[in-house]
Amino acid sequence: MKKTIGILGGMGALATVDLFQKIVTMTDAHSDNDHIRIYIDNNTWIPDRTTAILYGGESPVPQMLDALRHLEACGADCIAMPCNSGHYFLAELEKETKIPFISILEVTAKACLERFPGGTAGILGSTGTLKTDLYSGILAQRGMNSLMPTDEEQKVMMEHIGAVKANRLLTDPRPVQKVLDAMKARGATFFIWGCTELPIVAQQLNLKENYIDPTTELARAAIEFCGYPLREI
């Protein structure tokens, strides 16, 4: 029996589109009927995760659960959530459903071990993701080293994340490249685009680095969960 994917999206909208597009393009399909059935709740009413995690803002969990209930009603067999900081709340969501979540953190850590064994990850992401050690923690459990941006470097990255969320086209790669070069000088051998806006930043700016794209890893894992053949992009 064919399995289906539920995308718990809206964090943000373009990141949701990016996951959907990657699932479609990475499925080795030869006709419409060879693709996976996908349900998407692009719930843009979900409150900001970093604000909730660090500054006592409104919890995103109620709206996440609302989206989850819609995906359950559709009949999704697994849930993919294209938001790294959203995984801070994953345990709360998993308690409320029998549908398995595919963890973007787990599949990314697995890819890091496979592709860059012995490397040092330069972790980039929202401030909420970095401050809660979502990636540094899971990598340390697997014996991998990592480092993060300085406060000034993080300000640059958050400005670019915000630009994607505001649907502004990025054209100048120099500020981000300066951050990447500084992190390489401190020992980073590859990067994790640990915010689902960052693969879009990297694409728009045509950044050429060794990296892991968590959205791609999430798409790959979802396709494999559903039992469909992969086409690498």
Annotated catalytic residues are 83, 195
Where helices occur in 84-173 by DSSP H, the ranges are 90-94, 104-115, 127-131, 134-141, 151-165
Asked if 14 and 197 touch (Cβ cutoff 8 Å), the reply is: yes
Residue 27: half-sphere exposure toward Cβ, Cα within 13 Å: 25
Asked if 207 and 173 touch (Cβ cutoff 8 Å), the reply is: yes
CA distance 39 to 56: 31
CA distance 88 to 108: 15
The DSSP 8-state label assigned to residue 113 in this structure reads H
CA–CA distance from 183 to each of 116, 129, 146, 191, 215 (Å)? Answer: 16, 18, 10, 9, 22
CA distance 49 to 129: 9
CA distance 61 to 180: 33
Angle subtended by helix axes 214-225 and 104-115, to nearest 10: 110
